[in-house]
Amino acid sequence: MFDESFKKLKIDEIAHLLDIINKNIDGSIFDPLETTILAIDVSFYPDYRFLSISDYATNPPLQRFVFQKNATNEFAIIDWTYKTIYSLNQEVPIKLDDKNILEYVRFFFSYVKGRHGRFIICENMENIQLKDELLDDTKKKINGILQPLELKEKRKDGAYEVKAFMMLKDALFNVDIYIKPNGNVTMSDHEIIMENIPVIDSSFGS
């Protein structure tokens, strides 16, 4: 999702972080000796970094995504609701510009689930997990349609308009996404391109 490379944290920092994070999550806790934490700075959240926390020694594997205010013990744990992200947008506050707006859109839809599931941004075929039964001609057709996110306009009020191709469950559509300066996101003018696409990823509702 992020263009830059993640940094793998060392065991002493992992143990320190998990001592705090484990107290703030429900369910199983992370074992510092089995856990990997990858960190990356986030351009639209100044002074914050994004943490990907994974323990694959458990069954099922444990994974959490967290924002940490740099050099502090302040954390915001992703709970897959837009309210958590909107709250973080106000607290930081968010800083959007022409260079990071597409990165923010990718982030938002990667970590928010709606009532009907996740909206999956599809910039190429790698974003769609298809069943083998799908005909090659259909794959070529889909591949010929998909395009990367496109910044269409920055309006006078500071809001951005982005064109995207997305999937919800088994339907592919194009849509205009509007992002306000405070990070709030809305969608409009969607057009369904193809339905009943046989996907295998549970994110698509299979």
- Within 10 angstroms of residue 108's Cβ, the number of other Cβ atoms is 21
Supply the DSSP symbol for 114: B
pTM greater than the 0.85 cutoff: yes
Q: What is the pLDDT along the chain (206 residues), one digit of tens a residue?
A: 555 689 999 999 999 999 999 998 887 899 999 999 999 999 999 999 999 999 998 888 899 999 999 888 899 999 999 999 999 999 999 999 999 999 999 999 999 987 777 899 999 988 887 776 656 777 788 888 999 999 999 999 999 999 999 999 889 999 999 999 999 999 998 999 988 887 775 454 43
Q: Give the start-to-end residue ranges of the domains of the chain.
A: 7-78, 101-204
What is residue 81's predicted lDDT score, i.e. its pLDDT?
94
Structure tokens at 197: 């696409």
What is residue 132's predicted lDDT score, i.e. its pLDDT?
66
What is residue 114's predicted lDDT score, i.e. its pLDDT?
79
Beta strands in 83-123 (DSSP E): 119-121
Phi, psi values for residue 168, rounded to 5°: -125, 115
* C-alpha span between 158 and 179 (Å, rounded): 9
